[in-house]
Structure 1
Amino acid sequence: MARVEGSTDLWVDHLLNDSKIDLDYQSSHIKSIDDALHTASKKLNGKSGYPEYVGVVKDYLLVIEDKADISNHVYTDHDVITTDDPMVVPKYALNGALHYARHILERTSYKKLSKIS
């Protein structure tokens, strides 16, 4: 599966480049965001986390998580996106993006969010 997800990452990278959106891949050159990611594991264990793409455009924080299979787009429980289950968050793109975004927003001065999955 890693090869397929790698291809998906490259496809997203091409889309970002075509749109002239400059985001960092699996880290951030912005110190406060990078520091926040040091405890942002999707397994919810306090270790480092690595969203596919993250950055700031204008004054919005953008977090992108992608999955190769559309069946792993989002998991909801009673129409609520789950961000507190270590078995769910790593498996689903939107759950992971929201997890990272909340983690970063809680630990930085950024307050506007755009999540893309």
Structure 2
Amino acid sequence: MGNCHIWGFCPPEVTVIWLHNGDIVEPDDYNPISAIPNGDWSYQTQVSLLVAPVAGDTYTCSVQHVSLQEPLLEDWSPGLMLQVTILVAVATMLMVLGLGFFLAGVYRYKARPPAPGEFHGESRLW
């Protein structure tokens, strides 16, 4: 599902359309929500597009408002953006590396010989 969230506009009249590979998507395929006041004299709205995305498809949210000289266009493609994919991969590698160091440290701590005068076991007083 593609979401087009628009906020901080005034007056509340805004036109949002979706484009699929540059062609206008019929309004039957998405449901515009009425502008909701933010409480600071500005408004927000969200228009969701229910699609079964295919790799290579590009969807564009086009916003037209009196405050804009030309429509604002924002592309949405299925899947994660390349930058986000790289960040997730790096974070995962760092987490695995950190977990490996932690487990190696626990193993070395448990496997170390007792220090002089340190007693491992039970003591009994008769």
Report the TM-score range of the alignment, normalised by the length of the smaller protein. under 0.3
TM-score (norm 1): 0.27
TM-score (norm 2): 0.26
Larger Rg: 2
Q: Report the structure, 1 or 2, having the larger strand content.
A: 2
Q: Report the structure, 1 or 2, having the larger helix content.
A: 1
